Amino acid sequence: MPELNYDIIIIGAGPAGATLARLLDSNSYRVLLLDGQPLRKAKPCGGLLAPDAQKALACFELTLPKSVLVSPQIFAVKTIDLGSGRIRYYPRSYVNLDREKFDRWFLGLVPDSVEILSANCLSVCRSAGGFSLKIRDAAGSEKALHSTYVVGADGANSLLRRSLFPKQKMDAYVSIQQWFKAGDRNPFYSCIFDPETSDSCSWSIHKDEYFIFGGAFAAHACREAFERQKEKLRAYGFHFGEVLRTEACQVLRPHGPGSFCLGADNAFLLGEAAGLISPSSLEGISSAILSATWLSQALNADPEHALAQYRHSSRGLRMKLWAKCAKRWFMYEPIPRSLIMASGLSSIDVIPSGTGE
């Protein structure tokens, strides 16, 4: 099978891969972007654009088209601690969107000079002068590729990280999410803590005519824990009904500086594949865009020293994510969380519907 040759192959066409493909110098590199999303099930995601991600878009003067937005836009999170039974509302500036449409819009920003191929990467290994990859395209045909540089923008369960950096171990959860008909219930966004079923968090959000519930759980007996948590939430007014769709994937949780792996020897990792995701909120879009921006700048300026420059540029982000490990302790440990919620610090009072003017 003859190999097709490229300068850079990017595995994954989410916000990280699409940003890198958009910013690389097309006069210097022949770039292939592998988009495996059309060939897989949708990734579980609350689909909320956090302030850090909004800021990352603003740096490029990017504005969201109406087509990626969903209704309603919600301005507070209903935080529920099932351990203590406390409920608090906290103001939040998220944008509610359709994550799949957002990713497709973002991919549409990639210039025509970049070749985009709907394909899954089956294997990647080092070879003479670079890297050899085997892929399977949408028609089921397998192809052999070769590149000088390879970039993993393929998420938590990154094939590139597992293949080239097998000693890099990261804490991981299974993210499970289900879709239901919204019915006539009042729309809300919630963040749920339940130390009996998970030491991470769960969430719910309304999107147009749908209600979504999801959470991050330890891999062992994750589905059982998910269902137990759903049963507990019925006492808090949650009505789930018929399951329309169930999604699941791996999600990472960095726990310190050793959780991040940016790459080595002309192989690079971006976004969550590199461990660049918030350990407190599990938000990763902002880190995906920023890490791809820094790598593009490094490769465009001096490819021979790109990794060193990428490490330097991302140092502040890695320190910020490491610092959020401390924030995570206050959020996820039952006693400090219960004390913070009991104090009402930074919370807002919600006036029940029908009691105001």
- Same domain for 132 and 231, yes or no, is no
- Same domain for 238 and 216, yes or no, is yes
3-state secondary structure of 203: strand
Q: Which residues pair with 35 in a beta bridge?
A: 118
Number of domains the chain contains: 2
Q: How far apart are the first and last CA of the chain?
A: 73
So what's the pLDDT on residue 166?
94
50 found inside a domain: no
276 found inside a domain: yes
User: Which has the closest alpha carbon to 289: 22, 6, 98, 40?
Assistant: 22
Contact 47, 96 (CB under 8 A): yes
The length of the chain, given as a count of residues: 357
Decide the pairing of beta strands 267-269 and 263-264.
antiparallel
CATH number for the domain harbouring residue 79: 3.30.9
- Same domain for 36 and 158, yes or no, is yes
- Give 3-state DSSP helix, strand, coil % of the chain, rounded to 5: 35, 30, 35
User: Which has the closest alpha carbon to 157: 133, 137, 175?
Assistant: 175
So what's the pLDDT on residue 353?
67
- Same domain for 175 and 164, yes or no, is no
- Same domain for 197 and 236, yes or no, is yes
Q: Between vectors from CA 108 to CA 303 and to CA 54, what angle results, nearest 5°?
A: 80
35 found inside a domain: yes
350 found inside a domain: no
Give residues with Cβ within 8 angstroms of 108, minimum separation 6: none
353 found inside a domain: no
Overall pTM > 0.85: yes
CA-to-CA distance for 118 and 36, rounded, in angstroms? 6
Half-sphere exposure of 352 (CA within 13 A, CB side): 1
- Same domain for 31 and 104, yes or no, is yes
- Same domain for 202 and 316, yes or no, is no
CA-to-CA distance for 313 and 299, rounded, in angstroms? 12
CA-to-CA distance for 262 and 67, rounded, in angstroms? 34
Please give the residue range of the domain that contains residue 89: 66-99+171-253+330-343
Q: What is the pLDDT along the chain (357 residues), one digit of tens a residue?
A: 567 899 999 999 999 999 999 999 999 999 999 999 876 666 788 899 999 999 999 999 999 999 999 999 989 999 999 999 999 999 999 999 999 999 999 999 999 999 999 999 999 999 999 999 999 999 999 999 999 999 999 999 999 999 999 998 888 999 999 999 997 668 889 999 999 999 999 999 999 999 999 999 999 999 999 999 999 999 999 989 999 999 999 999 998 888 999 999 999 999 999 999 999 999 999 999 999 999 999 999 999 999 999 999 999 999 999 999 888 989 999 999 999 999 999 999 988 765 433
